[in-house]
Amino acid sequence: MSFPYLRPRRLRKKLYLRDLVAETRISPRDFIYPIFVREGIEEPEEISAMPGQHRWPVNEKLVEHVQKALDLGVHSVLLFGVPESKDELGSPAYDENGVVQRAVRLLRRELGDEVVIFTDVCLCHYTTHGHCGLLGKRCVGGFCEYIVENDTTLELLGKVAVSHAKAGADVVAPSSMMDGMVKAIREALDKEGFTDVAIMSYAAKYASAFYGPFRAAAENAPQHGDRRTYQMDPRNGEEAVKEVALDVQEGADILMVKPALAYLDVIRRVREAFPHYPLAAYNVSGEYSMLKVAAREGLVDEKKIVLEVLHAIKRAGANIIITYHALEAAEWLREGLDQKLF
Ligand code: PBG
């Protein structure tokens, strides 16, 4: 059957009919809300590179903010630390009294099981050089270069994960793209008895310019060099399936593709290759700030464009969306805008 018997427009003629046949629905329950926690401040600090986002102090202000997320139906948060001091070995990352560890304990104590706490496990916020692993110097034939040492970093990532688990994290999220990181973290957690703490792996994470605003927010930009030796090349799609397969073998519980928007095809591929795993997509800082700035300039309709983007990420195959839009989008969903704007 084809035209004139089939006319796809018939199902588009009314708002509520379109809604009835819509294939994709999003809900605040799909969201993980990323939050920056900063040591040494008492008041939330605006992040100019990410309009509408703040760095939060580890005190009642943070608790109130997370409570607001809970009230909107967003029950998962992902914590990033901005420490006061850094060193070569990234040791503030696995300090029991580090900023993330204290934030986890505070949220757990005040909000109990209402909040699902994810923590970013990486060294880049805590190393003076800003790399995601330990930095070594390799000299071959008189030529010397700095390299991020994969294997010696693994042990430290295990320590970071254990310190987060001890504080009460539900899920640790390793983002350093070191080879073998999921296995090393799984073994470290299990050895300490944290067999029930899950791992959400940044399995296919690209070396992306879309992280620009985040690096301003978290002060984790590499001081020299870049992350291209450990993060993925944006030109590769097949390789993402290999990267994800390795993390699956190593014991990842939730998979992730990052960034989201320029990588919707990767989300789709991973969804098809691993249909039985929860799949998260990280709608990153650059994706967020582009829309915020364009909306502020009056170039786009913010609510429509944000809801369009979030539906697109889910349509591509992600069932979890990590997004700075989480609270606003949850409010718009509560007003039924997903039904009314399309
Ligand atoms: C690194 C890390 C990055 C992000 C989260 N964890 C980026 C990076 O500097 O490589 C980016 C998130 C965003 O842009 O929103 N551990």
- 258 is annotated as an active-site residue: yes
Cβ–ligand 1 contact at 153 (below 6 Å)? no
| 285 Cβ inside 6 Å of ligand 1 | yes
Distance from the alpha carbon of residue 210 to the mean position of ligand 1, in angstroms: 9
- How far apart are the CA of 215 and the centre of ligand 1, in A? 7
**What three-state secondary structure class fits 154?**
helix
Quick check: CB of 35 below 6 Å from ligand 1?
Answer: no
Name 200's bridge partners: 254
pLDDT of 225: 83
Q: Which pair of structure tokens corresponds to residue 204?
A: 């296919």
- 3-state secondary structure (DSSP) of residue 130: coil
Listed residue (224, 212, 214, 124) closest to 174, CA to CA: 124
Q: How many A from CA of 139 to the centre of ligand 1? A: 29
Q: In angstroms, what CA-CA distances link 282 with 80, 183, 267, 325? A: 14, 22, 10, 11
Q: Please give the full DSSP string across 206-264, using - where no structure is assigned.
A: B--GGGHHHHHHHT---SSS-STTTSBPTT-SHHHHHHHHHHHHHT-SEEEEESSGGGH
Cα separation, 89 vs 123, in Å, equals 8
Say how far apart CA 93 and CA 91 lie, in whole Å.
5
**Which two structure tokens, joined as six digits, stand for 259?**
């960034």
Can you tell me the distance from the alpha carbon of 188 to that of 162, in angstroms, rounded to the nearest whole number?
7
Q: Which atom of ligand 1 is nearest to the CA of 176?
A: 16
CA 214 – ligand 1 centroid, Å? 6
For the chain, list the domains and their CATH numbers. 25-329 (3.20.20.70)
Does the beta carbon of 93 sit less than 6 angstroms from any atom of ligand 1?
Answer: no
Residue of the CA atom closest to atom 7 of ligand 1: 211
> Residues of the chain whose pLDDT is less than 70?
none
Among residues 86, 159, 205, 292, the one annotated as catalytic is 205
Integer Cα distance of 322 and 256 in angstroms? 10
Which ligand 1 atom lies nearest to the CA of residue 125?
A: 16
- Please give the Cα distance from 18 to 10 (Å, whole number): 10
211 Cα to the center of ligand 1, angstroms: 6
| The overall pTM is greater than 0.85 | yes
Active-site position among 86, 183, 258, 292: 258
Contact 122, 98 (CB under 8 A): no
What is the distance between the alpha carbons of residues 135 and 210, in angstroms, rounded to a whole number? 24
29-45: pLDDT as tens digits:
999 999 999 999 999 99
102-121 burial code (b ≥16 CB/10 A, e <16): bbbbbbbeebeeebebbbbb
